[in-house]
Structure 1
Amino acid sequence: MLIDRAVVEVRSGKGGNGAISFLREKNLPKGGPDGGNGGNGGSVYFIARKNINTLLAYRHSKAIIAKDGEKGDKKMRFGLSQEDVYAEVPVGTVVYLEEGMVPLADLSHDGDKVLVAKGGKGGRGNASFKSSRLRVPKIAENGHPGETKRIVLELKLLADAGLIGFPSVGKSTFLNVVSKANVQTADYPFTTLVPNLGVVSLPNGIDQFVLADMPGLIEGASKGKGLGFSFLRHIERCRVLVHMVSMSGERDPYNDYCLINEELKDYGADLDKRPQIVVASKMDCPGAIERKKEFDNKLGFASFGLSSLTQNGVNPLINYIYEMIQKTPVFPLFKQEENPQYKIYQAKDSEPLFTIKRPSAHLFVIEGKKVEEECALTNITTDQGIAKLLSYLTKIGVDEALREKGAISKDTIRIGDFEFEYDE
């Protein structure tokens, strides 16, 4: 069973807290700080493996979770850093951040990997804070938090060329003739429910290419109707499209041709700009020759005539498909500027260090990624830890901003989970 889309939650590990400890031995009553650092939390990666061909493992999966780093300890013992988690996906998987569908990576080769949730760094123990000015540090850092994200995985099959067209125009039959795909065929509206791949060998016995038989398309597919997105998603990787139109007389071939090209255009991803080979199939049917002439006149160029039943036209067609593949470069799945690693940050994009909200008369809430992170990392169980945090808040202007907002003594100040009383 081909499962080509999955949504999964990933969680990296939190860093271990640093320790506050002082060396106490018989001959060293004042041995100094010896609190060790916390270990790093594990990260989560997705890695492409060629022996996997479906996302079935993630269809009903629970969250992918990496372990937290262990806390530091006395006598300079560092906490254990955890191993990273590598979740395996098929080659051809595209990884997105669910929020905004931001593309993170196209894992198109065996062994390609992408970091999706970075493990938190371990906090420093008090031994790391010793200096000529601070000989007895009673301060340590908490471990950095891990990350929780929802990730969308989409499998887009790797094929050089893709067979497209309405159901029952002969795509599966053609694939069976030119390869060993052994696709089940029948004269039904949806004979192919999942894409099928076949390796096509040229008559010269040397060259090959991969041909994909895509699920039959219906009008409205670009809006998700029928097999819709399932069909169009896999076409994105194909360099050349082989557009089959039946000459059996059961449908209007030119109307079918136009409808499918409209669906390609509406879907986007520049599918309508791919090189397209138009094939008039089922040329063994009565009246097919006359219908092809009429069809070609409307097209303004000659289509390839093909009968998979008699195999007339098969070799010239596969030779031409291969020739077009060699001329056509690989299309990128997403443009460079869509990838967050290429984002250009300008001065106007910068965010303030913090904002202050006043939900009630005597409560002030300070928000901001950097200030909340600093608060979370600081061990506030010691006087030195609290002093360090308050010094940081004063340095970045929080104290002055609170006064401007009207804060008075005894008002409550909240930063994340930390609360304290304001003192003018």
Structure 2
Amino acid sequence: MDTIGVAERLMKYVQVDTEADPTSETFPSTMKQKDLAEILVQELKDLGIEDAYMDEWGYVFATIPSNTTKKVPTICFCAHMDTAPDVTGKNVKPILHKNYDGSPIVLPDDNSQVITTDRHPYLKEKIGDDLITASGLTLLGADDKAGVACIMDFAEHLMKDPSVVHGDIRILFTPDEEVGRGVDKLDMDKLNADYGYTLDGGVLGSIEDESFSADAVTVKIQGISAHPGYAKNKMVNALKLASEFIDALPKDAWSPETTSGREGFVHPVAVNGAMEECTVQFIIRDHETSKLAEYEARLEAIVKEVVEKYAGCSYTFEVKEQYRNMKEVLKTVPFVTNYAIEAMENVGVTPKNVIIRGGTDGSRLSFMGLPCPNIFTGEMAIHSRHEYVSVQDMEKAVATMKELVQIWERNAE
């Protein structure tokens, strides 16, 4: 296999449609995610990684064997292959913009899509870098194919350069992270790693070891059906009850559009139904796990107050745990994060501790026995047509990974 860089890898991978489907009951949620998995397995084998394979659920596993006599903990590097359903990931046309000069980037397939430094201030720091965008009709898919590309480039470096001394390294590519199911079917015995890092972060130098804790809430509102021609004093339209319920939520707080930093939120994400029954789905987020129950009690009180005004109507309120703040685990093994910070500093990157207002596969992996902070890749403006990534940021991520595995080796007995 000819040597290629992270830019070429990313531009290849984003052209494979791997959009996840939150309404699907299969795993992975879309079988086309396995198309990229098969490509990655073959590329890993071409690098000489003999045990690379995809399991029945679409997970890709591979091992870069140790080249040291020390007993080094096994480190896993993980990225997800799927893209978000928020914007289509079909027929992505990646564009490489060399030596970005700071001017607006007009995307050619939809000239109304213009990426500017005013709207995306991080771009001001990327003047002189090579940027990759989509063409205006799709997202790019750097979330998280930039992470996939970085790990693949890292794997090639290690397989070809024995001077990088390291212990056993496990590679994991997952499906369905974007719909919250990324590790639902993951066999931790198959993974067989001690500590991990996801490559799914944003700005250069970001190291994320604190995420939201998250629940999903499903509220079903039962109205009263009647023929619309004879409905006076009989019908209670569940759609209108759901609208009244949503309208009763706070307007100036408690929502994604009104919060930042460590503030949590309650966010309606979907409404489905008809006159007799309507379902409202929410995601509940906060960095303090205990606050989720407070938010859920308040939310239920609001729906109860609305529904009780209408005789004969009812509701159900279902809570499902999604993930928890990885900090609860990572604070017990601070060296995992500290080694990543040291690696960045050693390769000339200024570390930035960033709080994740969301979650990654690492959030759940940390609670499954694999403490797993998140490292930058440069992916920005994710889940949008303005998505972009700096090639130089990706290259710095690869350099960080190379230094990181050597730090683990140096600190081993």
- Tell which structure's C-alpha radius of gyration is larger: 1
TM-score, L = length of structure 1: 0.23
> Quick one: higher RCO (CA 8 Å, sep 6+), 1 or 2?
2
TM-score, L = length of structure 2: 0.23
Tell me which protein shows more helix as a share of its residues: 2
